[in-house]
Amino acid sequence: MSVISCKQLSHRFFQAGKENVILEDINFDVNAGESCAIIGKSGSGKTTLLNLLGLLDTPSQGRIHLCGQNTQELYKNDSNLSLFRNKNIGFIFQFHHLLYEFTVLENVLMPFMIQNLRPKEFSHKKEWGIHLLEKMGMIDKINSSVLHLSGGEQQRVAVARALVHKPLIVLADEPTGNLDTELAMTVFKEILDITHSYNGSAVIVTHDPELARQTTTTYHLSQHQLLRL
């Protein structure tokens, strides 16, 4: 079953009366439990594609189906759009966007802290959050302020936060860019293993061919086109 399906997807914008084409006639699918890497030069449109898949932007043409839902219908209602995104999509951005007034664990559990969950349910979610931080090598920092973390540590916290609600779709934009080579490989593998453990799917933008080879499929984005390698 396709969790992500793009058909004839295009994105362009006009600036100073000139049309700028970013993506043109993109077609690809990602099934449940699969992962795909997208590689390409800086400025080729990789982040734009992730923003379209994450419902942060709208395509100029074509259609996107996520979890069997035609996303064109979601754009008709902001509330439904937000609910769908919060439930089904986990974002890992190049910049971690953590909340500095909270601890590491509180940042990871933030998606649940704002839901007013029952104590028993929250306790279960907390256990999962702690497990993720252990996977990220951050178990000894769970009560630390994120202000006291290095950039690489903050990025690992952001990874745990993105996965804590077990999203069916994980979208990651250079998620290991702040990490050294060895740690990057470890965290990248954990992202894939954790996502696959609950049959989720991942689309990961990376500049590293070695990391890309860990995914189910790899695509190259060049000259507005997405080509499977």
How far are the Cα atoms of 16, 44, 60, 202 from residue 162, in angstroms, in the given order? 37, 25, 28, 12
Task: Name which of 167, 168, 174 is nearest 188 in CA terms.
Answer: 174
Confidence band (pLDDT; 50, 70, 90) for 89? very high
3-state secondary structure 189-227: HHHHHHHHHCCCEEEEECCCHHHHCCCCEEEEEECCEEE
Q: Give the dihedral sign, CA 143/146/148/149.
A: positive
Asked if residue 44 lies in contact with residue 26, where contact means CB atoms within 8 angstroms, the answer is: no
d(CA 123, CA 74): 32
pTM tops 0.85: yes
Q: Where are the domains of the chain?
A: 34-58+78-228
Instruction: Pick the range with the lowest mean pLDDT from 15-24, 134-143, 171-180.
Output: 15-24
Three-class SS state of 33: coil
pLDDT in tens, 170-217: 999 999 887 888 899 999 999 999 999 999 999 999 988 899 999 999
Pick the CATH number of 34-58+78-228 from 3.20.20.70, 3.40.50.720, 3.40.50.300, 2.40.128.260: 3.40.50.300
